[in-house]
């Protein structure tokens, strides 16, 4: 039997605890009941519903009464799922949609009750039995409301107004290159817990250690010390943790887990329990660090063989929301030979993140601070802060996540620099076990030296730099690709987080003419970029833009785009383009070189 002993459960743990806006891991709670299915819906383009009190869901009670709305016998929408792709009339709809459903519950004073939403885009107002229970802004992270005091014995009436409009102080803001589907995008749960329950926990390897599991547990509702049991049977960990009167305890435990890595994505069944509340998870243990220009996974240098994708199933036209959707996307990722994904441009659903981790994919996760953000407006910092906290809060137990990214292609100025600096510091203060990054499109080419350089203070404070550069597309090749040099963040790891070009599946044309929109041009562009990559001394990863063609009202060429971004390596119908094979071969070569090095 392995000898496991407790190092300390005192305040060794320095992580800043965040204000809790939702409980960890509804998928691992036996007391969580899904409220998925068909919901009634009302389309409300003039936002009339609040004034007309749709949330009261009234029906005429007398001869004189009538209401100019009804949730019955009208539109029915699937939850989870975006509303835009469910009926043709909603294809480009931006505005309010009201959702309603009933669910059965028991009034029980020994229990606490919550409605938990895994993701609603973009803003949600929630009423239960005619009473407002709360509001949440931000389309890609979970939130919950405690509803015990609103609950009725028997039939309960749940109403949600969802608004997916674009506004200047929203994130993302007015214009961006994807279709931002609206609706109750992800799972909805009704969760009943005991009065004292586990709201949050972190169980990960201690930074730079291979045999110390460290973390914390946070109970809700505790007013006195409690015994919480952390159990990882395969590691013979069975640890009693005593929480303080605020329900908190940090811990460190000696253990020798087999480390998680792409070649061996080992996960351990883990449970936490207090009194009659229990939560199960599967947890991997790994270290991720930067040393000079190397990214070290468990002390070994890794090259990130990546790809970007949106949370979208192009063949079905709509947001990805299920385990089956995650399997479809990630099967295509694995086929390309990847060990890394960038979940562009926002936290994608937990099914994707969890399955990616199981498949051994390292993950770059980011918040949707995408160009054109209203950095001047102080509320934007508050909103971004909240999104970053919620993202890290949700995924801090995922060994697969190695990088938190705070922004994509934002331009330097004092307002933006202040916001990004605050976010980077925040990410580090919440979680010191991962790397912090951002994607930059502003390295500039100097024709005199044939070299790319960057002038951006934010590039100096990230752990790893991500660069999006569309050589051969938005920027014509200034000279032969083999002669283009890079001198960008030369002291740290560099990931080419985006490169690529448009091409319509099946279209043949000149490999030298961008306007051929052909697979041939795309294939040649990939070849040339891979040649140029040899001149990036600190290159530690690549992530082409993008795995699948995706929907985007930004893209209006009538023949070749028609509302689609065509930079996919795979078409919207799932067919692989010629450039896919170039990338696949590149990743195979990297594997071969690594095998020889060993």
**Least distance to ligand GCB from the beta carbon of 134, Å?**
31
Q: Is position 468 an interface residue for ligand GCB (rule: CB under 6 A)?
A: yes
Nearer residue to ligand GCB within complex by CB, 185 or 407: 407
Nearer residue to ligand GCB within complex by CB, 431 or 441: 441
Nearer residue to ligand GCB within complex by CB, 177 or 332: 177
Nearer residue to ligand GCB within complex by CB, 325 or 498: 498
**Least distance to ligand GCB from the beta carbon of 129, Å?**
42
Alpha-carbon gap, residue 444 to 180, rounded angstroms = 30
Pattern 289-328, ligand GCB, x by CB under 6 A: ----------------------------------------
Nearer residue to ligand GCB within complex by CB, 336 or 438: 438
Coil, strand or helix at 356: helix
Q: Is position 545 an interface residue for ligand GCB (rule: CB under 6 A)?
A: yes
Q: Is position 409 an interface residue for ligand GCB (rule: CB under 6 A)?
A: yes
Nearer residue to ligand GCB within complex by CB, 345 or 578: 345
Number of other CB atoms surrounding residue 597 within 10 Å: 7
Nearer residue to ligand GCB within complex by CB, 522 or 565: 565
- Beta-carbon contacts of residue 95 (< 8 Å; ≥ 6 apart): 43, 44, 45, 47, 163, 164, 165
> Is 450 exposed, middle or buried (CB count within 10 Å of its CB: 0-12, 13-18, 19+)?
middle
Sheet holding 197-205: strands in order across?
A: 6-8, 248-254, 212-220, 197-205
CA triple 229-235-240, angle to 5 deg: 20
Q: Is position 408 an interface residue for ligand GCB (rule: CB under 6 A)?
A: yes
**Least distance to ligand GCB from the beta carbon of 146, Å?**
37
Size of the site for ligand GCB (CB under 6 A): 10
Alpha-carbon gap, residue 289 to 10, rounded angstroms = 26
Map tokens 């939702």 to a residue: 22
**Least distance to ligand GCB from the beta carbon of 409, Å?**
5
Q: Is position 177 an interface residue for ligand GCB (rule: CB under 6 A)?
A: yes
Q: How do strand 304-309 and strand 340-343 relate by DSSP bridges?
A: parallel
**Least distance to ligand GCB from the beta carbon of 327, Å?**
24
Closest residue to ligand GCB in the complex (CB): 177
Q: Which of 498, 519, 524, 549 binds ligand GCB (CB under 6 A)?
A: 498
Nearer residue to ligand GCB within complex by CB, 538 or 552: 552
Q: Is position 567 an interface residue for ligand GCB (rule: CB under 6 A)?
A: yes
**DSSP states along 60-104:** --STT---S--STTSEEEEESS-STTTSGGGTT--SEEEEEEEEE
Asked if residues 295 and 288 have their Cβ atoms less than 8 Å apart, the reply is: yes
Coil, strand or helix at 596: helix
Q: Which of 217, 565, 569, 571 binds ligand GCB (CB under 6 A)?
A: 565
Nearer residue to ligand GCB within complex by CB, 78 or 498: 498
Q: Is position 437 an interface residue for ligand GCB (rule: CB under 6 A)?
A: no
Asked if residues 3 and 234 have their Cβ atoms less than 8 Å apart, the reply is: no
Q: Which of 441, 463, 523, 572 binds ligand GCB (CB under 6 A)?
A: 441
Phi and psi at 453, nearest 5°, equal -130, 165
CA triple 496-499-501, angle to 5 deg: 175
| SS3 readout for 201-224 | EEEEECCCCCCEEEEEEEEECCCC
**Least distance to ligand GCB from the beta carbon of 443, Å?**
13
Enumerate binding residues for ligand GCB (CB under 6 A).
177, 345, 408-409, 441, 468, 498, 545, 565, 567
């Amino acid at each position: 039997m392995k000898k496991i002993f407790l190092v300390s459960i005192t305040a060794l743990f320095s992580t800043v605890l965040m204000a809790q806006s939702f409980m960890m891991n509804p998928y691992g709670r036996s007391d969580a009941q899904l409220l998925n299915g068909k919901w009634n819906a009302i389309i409300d383009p003039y936002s009339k519903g609040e004034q007309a009190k749709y949330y009261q869901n009234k029906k005429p009670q007398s001869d004189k009464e009538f209401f100019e709305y009804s949730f019955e016998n009208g539109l029915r929408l699937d939850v989870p799922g975006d509303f835009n792709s469910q009926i043709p009339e909603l294809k480009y709809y931006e505005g309010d949609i009201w959702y309603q459903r009933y669910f059965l519950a028991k009034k029980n004073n020994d229990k606490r009750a919550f409605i938990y939403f895994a993701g609603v885009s973009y803003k949600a107002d929630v009423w239960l039995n005619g009473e407002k229970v709360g509001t949440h802004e931000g389309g890609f992270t979970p939130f919950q409301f405690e509803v015990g005091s609103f609950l009725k014995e028997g039939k309960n009436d749940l109403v949600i107004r969802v608004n997916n409009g674009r506004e200047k102080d929203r994130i993302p803001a007015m214009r961006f290159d994807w279709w931002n589907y609206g609706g109750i995008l992800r799972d909805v749960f009704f969760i009943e817990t005991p009065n004292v329950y586990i709201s949050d926990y972190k169980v990960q390897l201690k930074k730079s250690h291979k045999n110390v599991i460290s973390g914390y547990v946070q109970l809700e509702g505790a007013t006195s010390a409690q015994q919480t049991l952390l159990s990882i049977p395969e590691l013979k960990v069975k640890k009693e943790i005593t929480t303080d009167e605020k329900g908190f305890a940090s811990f460190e435990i000696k253990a020798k887990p087999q480390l998680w890595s792409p070649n061996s994505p080992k996960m351990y069944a883990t449970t936490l329990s207090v009194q009659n509340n229990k939560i199960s998870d599967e947890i991997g243990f790994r270290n991720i660090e930067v040393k000079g220009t190397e990214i070290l996974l468990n002390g070994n240098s890794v090259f990130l063989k990546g790809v970007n994708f949106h949370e979208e199933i192009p063949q079905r036209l709509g947001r990805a929301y299920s385990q089956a959707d995650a399997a479809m996307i990630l099967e295509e990722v694995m086929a390309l030979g990847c060990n890394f994904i960038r979940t562009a441009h926002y936290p994608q659903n937990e099914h994707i993140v969890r399955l990616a981790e199981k498949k051994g994919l390292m993950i770059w996760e980011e918040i949707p601070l995408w160009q054109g953000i209203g950095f001047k407006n102080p509320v934007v910092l508050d909103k971004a802060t909240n999104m970053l906290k919620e993202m890290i809060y949700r995924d801090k137990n995922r060994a697969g996540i190695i990088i938190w990214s705070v922004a994509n292609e934002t331009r330097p100025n004092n307002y933006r620099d202040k916001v990004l600096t605050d976010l980077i510091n925040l990410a580090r203060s919440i979680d010191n076990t991962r790397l912090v990054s951002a994607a930059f499109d502003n390295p500039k080419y100097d024709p005199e030296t044939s070299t790319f350089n960057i002038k951006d203070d934010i590039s100096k404070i990230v752990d790893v730099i991500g660069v999006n550069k569309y050589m051969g597309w938005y920027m014509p090749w200034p000279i032969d690709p083999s002669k283009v040099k890079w001198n960008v963040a030369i002291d740290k790891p560099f990931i080419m987080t985006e490169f690529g070009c448009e091409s319509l599946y099946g279209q043949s044309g000149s490999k030298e003419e961008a306007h051929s929109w052909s697979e041939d041009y795309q294939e040649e562009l990939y070849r040339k970029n891979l040649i140029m990559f040899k001149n990036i001394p600190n290159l530690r990863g690549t992530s082409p833009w993008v795995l699948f063609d995706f929907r985007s009202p930004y893209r209006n060429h009538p023949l070749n785009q028609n509302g689609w971004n065509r930079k996919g390596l795979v078409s919207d119908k799932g067919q692989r383009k010629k450039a896919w094979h170039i990338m696949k071969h590149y990743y195979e070569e990297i594997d071969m070189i690594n095998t020889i090095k060993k």
